[in-house]
Structure 1
Amino acid sequence: MSTQYIFTTHRLSRRFPPDRQVISDISLSFLPGAKIGVLGYNGAGKSTLLRVMAGRDTEFDGQAQLA
């Protein structure tokens, strides 16, 4: 039986010019019905991660895929 994830990231990284790394090498997978929370300090990349997940930010390295 294979697992069907609804969203996955693999080695996701996001940098803002000139040299601000906000997300570095994140790999995640979510199952249907999963409830998630995103916690972190100000400027840690929470909103950036959610924008990538929503498809609103496409300027990242790595993979992000909605199933």
Structure 2
Amino acid sequence: MSSQFVYTMHRVGKVVPPKRHILKDISLSFFPGAKIGVLGLNGAGKSTLLRIMASVDKEFEGEARPQPGIKIGYLPQEPKLEPQQNRA
């Protein structure tokens, strides 16, 4: 994988029981400063792709990694709030 990219994925796949392919053979690379959008139908694997990119989901096939020094943040669609930390 080339170091000119800030993030690369190579042949990434995700299978969930019973043998349902969420992602299959995804390869992509991002240049520094690129603005990226992820579009797709419900259930197409958008959130799964983003969880893999943020290293939240580590169980997948293929290779996905940022270059050294690159940090990726992730905010889930439904954040888990801790009741003891809520203030009225």
TM-score > 0.5 by shorter chain: yes
Q: Which residue of 1 aligns with 2:64?
A: 64
Identity, in percent, stands at: 61
Give, in angstroms, the shift of residue 43 of structure 1. Answer: 0.6
What amino acid maps onto 2:65 in structure 1? Answer: Q
- Whichever residue aligns with residue 31 of structure 1, its letter is F
**Residues 4-36 of structure 1: CA distance to partner in whole angstroms, max 9, x if unpaired?**
111000000001111211100010000111000
Q: How many residue pairs align between the two structures?
A: 66
In structure 2, C-alpha distance between the alignment counterparts of 1:30 and 1:65, rounded to whole Å? 11
1:3, distance to aligned residue in structure 2 (A): 5.7
Can you give the 5+ residue segments of structure 1 that lack an aligned partner in the other structure?
Answer: none
Max Rg structure: 2
Mark the runs of 5 or more structure 2 residues left unpaired by the alignment. 68-88
1:45 corresponds to: 45
Confirm or deny that 1:8 pairs with 2:8: yes
Return the alpha-carbon distance in structure 1 between the equivalents of residues 31 and 10 of structure 2: 15
Residue 36 to residue 4, structure 1, CA distance change in 2 (3 Å): same
